[in-house]
Structure 1
Amino acid sequence: MNRQENLRRLQNESDFDICIIGGGATGAGIALDATLRGLKVILIEKHDFAAQTSSKATKLIHGGVRYLEQAVKTLDWEQFRMVRKALRERTILLKNAPHLSRPLALLTPCFSWIESIYYAIGLKMYDWIAGSHNVGSSKRLSKKKALELIPELKGGHLNSAVLYYDGQLDDARYCLSIIQTAAEKGAVVLNHTQAISMVKSEKSLRIKSLVIKDLLGSKEYKINAKVFVNATGPFADHIRQMANPKLKPRMRVSRGAHIVLPPDILKGDTAILVPKTDDGRVVFIIPWQDHTLVGTTDEEDVLSETPVLEDYEARYLLEYVNRFLETPVNHSQISSGFAGLRPLLQAALQSTMETETKSLVRDHEVEIDNRSKLVSIMGGKWTTYRLMAKDTVDQIFHEVLAKKAVPCTTEHQLLHGAEGYNFDDWKRLADEYGISELSAKHLMKKYGSNAAEVLKLTKNRKELLTLIVEGHPFIKAEVLYNIQNEMACTVDDILDRRLGLRLRDAKAAKEAEPFITETLNHFTEQK
């Protein structure tokens, strides 16, 4: 995947069936789905692929235990349906990119017999709704068994626990993998490219073309397309009002905040779900990429392209870590932290203004503006990205192109790096290239069946086998591969999303910056 080649294609192929604005999970999913159905597709992203919400989640693939609880309490069939759909999609996400996702066991501590029965029944219902798509069966655990599974758990007032299963993913790279697959199938994809203005028909005011700007080269281009899709998540209202200033806002945002702690905080593979905090939120303590991820708070926020973790959020999350883990954790042990905005869809503007964001249903809607014919996909969550894409492309066929929809095939489409993937290949790579077990396993999890391609770059440059920074498994060849094959253009692209080092360890990422900057500058000079 080469950015210059995609820019050349844009110059030579200015007419497309679909132009997608937004390169997060949903936009990527639409690009892949539409391309597989035979449409000519271009996708643009203002920053980098997955730069916003899609790389700042809690890294979970889940049906939504909390939504199931709300569905039962309020007899809300819509929330029940949403959980059922998400549980089916959970299986598909795990299957289509096994190198970037895995099943995850989660333990819910219980402090009374009644609480234990309550959660056990609820999670059995979760299993039942999943049916054949269940990842693993939930079960009640005695206090002794719970402490054997997670020795770090505070046992003083513990009565028992309930164990259940969901999934975990490397969100930024999963999104990239969807983008790469779409590009392999024929889509034009461009990061660091901004939508500047829309050219509309004088009579109907329908969008005819989109003026975009290459933010790295400062050149402007015009894209002609039959359909324009707004897949910008929390920023959807901006594009909607660019297309039709008379449209009323539909989006609200809540912020999810996370801290990252050293791996010895939670040594096993089982996560902890704190099902209810004092103010009614949910907190996860999760083993994640050799570290411990803690999140998330959930409160209304204002729209921002640069949300940051606030000190009060870090203190809030640490408080719950220390309530549930035996060994106290202090602020100095936080190795990194991040915050992201979640797009919450307002079904009816007036009736939802007083609703707390944690109670809003995170389902999605495809909106087609009657005047401009802009297609906006709003709401949703990571787990249902593929379903959101399918619904969007279906609507495009029926409502805009006025054609019979070609069937969606993304359910069975392995993503980039999944074809021929075998995790045990790490042993062969470690032997052949003389790298550590830790680095070999890391490469398999990041690049899947393309891990060998990363290592081939070291054939005549043995220095690329060395670590970027001590204490982390990343090798220097990865940076070269990120730039040459994964359209990484900036230090942030590499540290935040291709490698994810900054999300794990901010201090180590700072140490890595000089090498990454030097490598990027070398490629810039060669162009």
Structure 2
Amino acid sequence: MNHQSREQQLSNIRGTKDLWDVVVIGGGATGLGVALDASSRGLKTLLIERFDFTKGTSSRSTKLVHGGVRYLRQGQVSLVLEALKERGLLKKNAPHLVRPLRFVLPAFKWWERYFYTIGLKLYDLLARRLSFGKSVMLSKQEVSQAVSTLESSKLRGGVLYYDGQMDDARLGLALAKTAFREGATVLNYCEAIDFAYDEQGQVNQVTFKDHLASSHETQEYTIDTRSVVNATGVFVDELRLLEDQKQKPLIKPSQGAHLILPKSFLPGNSGIIFPETADGRVLFAIPWFDRALVGTTDHFKEKPESEPVPLESELQEILTLLKEHLRPAPENSDVLSVFAGLRPLVVPDRQQNSATISREHTVIFGQSGICHVTGGKWTTYRKMAEDVLEALSHRGFIPSSACQTEKLKLVGWQIEVDNIDHISIYGAERQQVNELSQTLSDGQEKLHPRLPYIQAEVIYAVRNEWAVTVEDVLSRRTRALLLDAQASIECAPLVAKLMAKELNHTQTWIDEQIVHYQKLAQAYLWPNS
């Protein structure tokens, strides 16, 4: 892939007055999926994201690609069918980022083992030829062998089944790279700030601001477009209200908190699913990058935030359940990192609990012709994008054409046999990372003793992955912030220095980046620790 920097892509925009077919606002899973679908159909496509790619919800998920066992229990069979199909396609199109993961569903009553087995056999059946593996009923001894830290005094057996696991931020980056490969222009740190309309009141221009431009550089760009897609996730209503301030909000944000523990609390290669907590949620504990990731909660938030912070009460909910079921029981001091994400839930009834609301997506058009898409989940991003393009075509904004993404391999495509680790997520690009590590004097040196990442990965992220801040590198190009927040704070000065040399930044920039990152990362430590 012939990589172009942000500056090169912006220069291309300055040098042309062409009409764009699709302008996508929002660089999360949905927006990136729309940009890829559009560009792979041969449409002239621009994506702009006011922060970094997957800065919001799309890098703060439970890292699962799944059909949704809970949705099956709620009777949402069509949603499960769609998600299981998309799960299978994701594994085919990005095997370096999506892997099957074994889950143990423990039973604590004699009848639960049979009840869960019936449900999961239906789950297997719905997956059909795209199944990740067959579910199996387990004895008490077999459950203990699979998850040795599970408290067994009340255990009656369980069920083993398979779902998918991924690295969400890296998957988003793969979508951005693939969209670029297919001809799209993809820009982080660019924000849509204004629209212009034709005589019929339909949007035909977008003005956006480059947040990284200096005072002597072009800061604002105005482009002509046939269509605009609002894929801003939990912020979807901000843009909708620009069209009509009388519109009722489309979504209600729901916050999900997670915590990261040392791998010793979940040895082996199996995750655990606790099917029903006190408030009706499902709680997952999964192995991820030599750690144990546990989540999630489900609580409504009044307003969306770009940096949601998990409440201590949410984290205590998770820890209380773990103390009941794991031996040894984890304590606050064992937690390496905490994080929260906001889900954009379409709420038909304000009285509903967020844990019971469907994650199905919604595509609607505003009065000025802007296409708004929201809801859904990571697993179904591709289908959401396809629905958006079909809706644009049906409305006459773009010519009708066939979707290409069902069999479109993402950048880095490479069949992997081992578990996801910090090098395997590069897939076919790992050779470039390895070669770079050998050409740099300290390229193979670790960023921190408690983290797997090396200095070459920082330089690679700057040169090939549009990373422009320390946060970009430590939070989303690597996952250092999530794996060990304190360790990421301690290596931030080194990362800032490496990036400054590569990007020709000053010591002032280094100092500002360190302060910004360390302030941000404090929110990923256990509260008041």
TM-score (norm 1): 0.92
Q: Could you say if the C-alpha distance between residues 67 and 460 of structure 1 is closer, same or farther in structure 2, counting changes exceeding 3 Å?
A: closer
What is the aligned length? 497
Which residue is equivalent to 2:197? 200
Cα RMSD between the aligned structures? 1.6
> Are residues 1:65 and 2:87 paired?
no
Aligned match for 1:476, one of 455, 479, 482: 455
Shift of 1:116: 1.4
Contact 2:451 2:484 in 1 (8 A): no
One-letter amino acid of the structure 2 residue matched with residue 495 of structure 1: L
Which residue is equivalent to 1:135? 132
Shift of 1:398: 1.6
Contact 1:140 1:162 in 2 (8 A): yes
Contact 2:136 2:160 in 1 (8 A): yes
Which residue is equivalent to 1:502? 481
One-letter amino acid of the structure 2 residue matched with residue 344 of structure 1: L
Measured in 1, the distance between the counterparts of 2:415 and 2:172 equals 21
Measured in 1, the distance between the counterparts of 2:127 and 2:182 equals 32
Shift of 1:258: 0.1
Aligned match for 1:148, one of 126, 133, 145: 145
Contact 1:105 1:163 in 2 (8 A): yes
Which residue is equivalent to 1:37? 41
Measured in 1, the distance between the counterparts of 2:474 and 2:105 equals 33
Contact 2:226 2:398 in 1 (8 A): no
One-letter amino acid of the structure 2 residue matched with residue 343 of structure 1: P
Which residue is equivalent to 1:448? 427
3-state SS of paired residue (2:111): helix
> Are residues 1:8 and 2:11 paired?
yes
Shift of 1:443: 4.8
Which aligned segments of 4 or more residues in structure 1 are displaced greater than 3 angstroms?
A: 441-444
3-state SS of paired residue (1:261): strand
Measured in 2, the distance between the counterparts of 1:260 and 1:162 equals 25
Q: After the TM superposition, which of the residue ranges 162-171 and 457-466 deviates more from structure 2?
A: 457-466
Measured in 2, the distance between the counterparts of 1:138 and 1:86 equals 18
Q: Deviations over 1:42-81 (max 9, x none)?
A: 000011000001000000011111111011xxxxxxx210
Which residue is equivalent to 2:525? none
Q: Deviations over 1:227-247 (max 9, x none)?
A: 000001111111111233343
Shift of 1:155: 0.5
One-letter amino acid of the structure 2 residue matched with residue 117 of structure 1: Y
Q: Percent same amino acid at aligned positions?
A: 40
One-letter amino acid of the structure 1 residue matched with residue 455 of structure 2: K
Which residue is equivalent to 1:433? none
Measured in 2, the distance between the counterparts of 1:129 and 1:52 equals 31
Q: Deviations over 1:158-177 (max 9, x none)?
A: 01101111100000000100
1:120-519 matches, within 5 Å, as 120-201=117-198, 203-217=199-213, 219-302=219-302, 303-346=304-347, 348=348, 352-369=349-366, 371-401=367-397, 403=399, 405-418=400-413, 421-423=414-416, 442-519=421-498
3-state SS of paired residue (2:260): strand
Q: Deviations over 1:361-401 (max 9, x none)?
A: 110121112x2000011111000000000010111112132
Contact 1:198 1:243 in 2 (8 A): no
One-letter amino acid of the structure 2 residue matched with residue 180 of structure 1: K
Shift of 1:354: 0.8
One-letter amino acid of the structure 2 residue matched with residue 367 of structure 1: I
Q: Could you say if the C-alpha distance between residues 402 and 306 of structure 1 is closer, same or farther in structure 2, counting changes exceeding 3 Å?
A: closer
> Are residues 1:18 and 2:22 paired?
yes
Measured in 2, the distance between the counterparts of 1:64 and 1:215 equals 38
Measured in 1, the distance between the counterparts of 2:48 and 2:109 equals 52
Measured in 1, the distance between the counterparts of 2:273 and 2:505 equals 50
One-letter amino acid of the structure 1 residue matched with residue 207 of structure 2: V
Measured in 2, the distance between the counterparts of 1:462 and 1:8 equals 33
Contact 1:65 1:126 in 2 (8 A): yes
Shift of 1:99: 1.0
Contact 1:141 1:163 in 2 (8 A): yes
Contact 2:103 2:271 in 1 (8 A): yes
Contact 2:147 2:270 in 1 (8 A): yes
Shift of 1:267: 1.0
Contact 2:79 2:360 in 1 (8 A): yes
Contact 1:9 1:188 in 2 (8 A): no
3-state SS of paired residue (1:136): coil
Shift of 1:422: 4.9
Measured in 2, the distance between the counterparts of 1:62 and 1:423 equals 19
3-state SS of paired residue (2:358): coil
Measured in 1, the distance between the counterparts of 2:500 and 2:271 equals 41
Which residue is equivalent to 1:432? none
Measured in 1, the distance between the counterparts of 2:483 and 2:438 equals 29
Shift of 1:472: 2.0
Shift of 1:460: 3.4
One-letter amino acid of the structure 2 residue matched with residue 9 of structure 1: N
Shift of 1:254: 0.6
3-state SS of paired residue (2:252): strand
One-letter amino acid of the structure 2 residue matched with residue 33 of structure 1: D
Structure 2, unpaired ranges of 5+ = 507-529
Measured in 1, the distance between the counterparts of 2:22 and 2:34 equals 10
Contact 2:98 2:166 in 1 (8 A): yes
3-state SS of paired residue (2:388): helix
Which residue is equivalent to 1:431? none
Which residue is equivalent to 2:56? 52
Measured in 1, the distance between the counterparts of 2:415 and 2:285 equals 29
3-state SS of paired residue (2:227): strand
Q: Could you say if the C-alpha distance between residues 114 and 410 of structure 1 is closer, same or farther in structure 2, counting changes exceeding 3 Å?
A: same
Measured in 2, the distance between the counterparts of 1:285 and 1:224 equals 47
Measured in 2, the distance between the counterparts of 1:525 and 1:132 equals 52
Shift of 1:503: 0.6
Aligned match for 2:77, one of 66, 76, 80: 80
Measured in 1, the distance between the counterparts of 2:46 and 2:31 equals 10
Measured in 1, the distance between the counterparts of 2:81 and 2:307 equals 33
Shift of 1:106: 0.8
Measured in 1, the distance between the counterparts of 2:344 and 2:269 equals 30
Q: Deviations over 1:266-301 (max 9, x none)?
A: 111100000011121111111111100000001111
Contact 1:244 1:372 in 2 (8 A): no
